[in-house]
Homo-oligomer: A and B are copies of this chain.
Amino acid sequence: MTETQELRQQELATQDRLPKVKEVIDRVGISGLRTGLKLSNAGNDSHFTAEIDLFIDLSEDRKGIHMSRLVESINEVVSRGSRQTKASFEELGMDILDELKKKHRYSKGEITIRTTLFLSRHTPVTNRLTDEPYDICIGVISRNDKFFKKMRVKAIGNTLCPHSLETTHGKAHVQRAELDLQIEAPIKEKIPLEELIAICENSFSSPTYTVLKTPDEAGVVEEMFRNPKFVEDVARDCFRQARNLKFKGCVKIRATSYESIHKHNAVSEIERVFE
């Protein structure tokens, strides 16, 4: 650099100067920002405690991004959310990425919102209403001004081992199991979170419930013994239903069985692209 160029560099904010190593950064931003969120659907408000990651790319000729603009974009949309109505996490994510575009240049932006969703269920025999918790994670990606989404749900159920049911003649080991179902698709694909969670719950030997009276507990146990499943069966049954959603994009399934006869876990994964 000439002396003049160097002087000009010094006049810029530290972030806007040339970096020593001239390389594009793929993702830079903030992780683990916690905030409250509100969604409004058909007049009903839902409240969430969420953790947000927000990343953009950075060209090779800038030393750093202006991080506070990322936080400001989240804050403005979230506080505006109390006045306007957003029906979904996807809309919220797109709004934040749009707001950020006004404040900071980027060609790829990605927001991830991790939170807990509660859904109403009925117990299988006494038909009681229970609220069940599900970890969810919604990502919105802006790539060359097109939006994509990532949806990830985790559901807790159980597996009853088909092999042991045969070899011990009607007895079997059972255990808590978890399905982690992720899809990535263009933003316009209609894939409700509730449906992804239902797909997971239908894939276990039985779903699980927060409250179970004695007849319900017996009902769950009977259902487990009617549906013995390896962790492979859980992943395949989940995949079959996910394929039936008929969207373009990709799907990742991870079934984990917290074995009751071992200290380690059994895991089964399927990944596919639907074109």
Question: CB of A214 within 8 A of chain B?
Answer: yes
A239 engages B176 (CB within 8 Å): no
A221 engages B261 (CB within 8 Å): yes
Report the separation of the CA atoms of residues A261 and B14 in the bound assembly, to the nearest whole angstrom.
18
Binds B, one of A1-9, A89-97, A192-200, A263-271: A263-271
Question: CB of A250 within 8 A of chain B?
Answer: no
A222 engages B171 (CB within 8 Å): yes
A168 engages B240 (CB within 8 Å): no
B222 engages A263 (CB within 8 Å): no
Query: Nearest Cβ distance between residue A125 and chain B, in whole angstroms?
Result: 11
Question: CB of A211 within 8 A of chain B?
Answer: yes
Question: CB of A107 within 8 A of chain B?
Answer: no
Query: Nearest Cβ distance between residue A134 and chain B, in whole angstroms?
Result: 9
Question: CB of A191 within 8 A of chain B?
Answer: no
A236 engages B173 (CB within 8 Å): no
Report the separation of the CA atoms of residues A158 and B21 in the bound assembly, to the nearest whole angstrom.
19
A205, closest chain B residue (CB): B260
Report the separation of the CA atoms of residues A217 and B264 in the bound assembly, to the nearest whole angstrom.
15
Q: Which residues of B contact A220 (CB under 8 A)?
A: 173, 261
Question: CB of A33 within 8 A of chain B?
Answer: yes
Within 8 A of B (CB), among A172-231: 172-176, 206, 208-214, 217-218, 220-222, 224-225, 230-231
Question: CB of A233 within 8 A of chain B?
Answer: yes
Residue numbers of A with Cβ under 8 A of B are 13-15, 19-21, 23-36, 47-49, 53, 55, 58, 63-65, 67-68, 71-72, 75, 115-116, 118, 130-133, 156, 158, 162-164, 166-168, 170-176, 206, 208-214, 217-218, 220-222, 224-225, 230-233, 235-237, 239-240, 256, 258-271
6 further A-B pairs in the complex, CB-CB below 8 A; given A63-B162, A75-B131, A75-B211? A31-B266, A34-B263, A47-B47, A68-B213, A171-B225, A208-B263
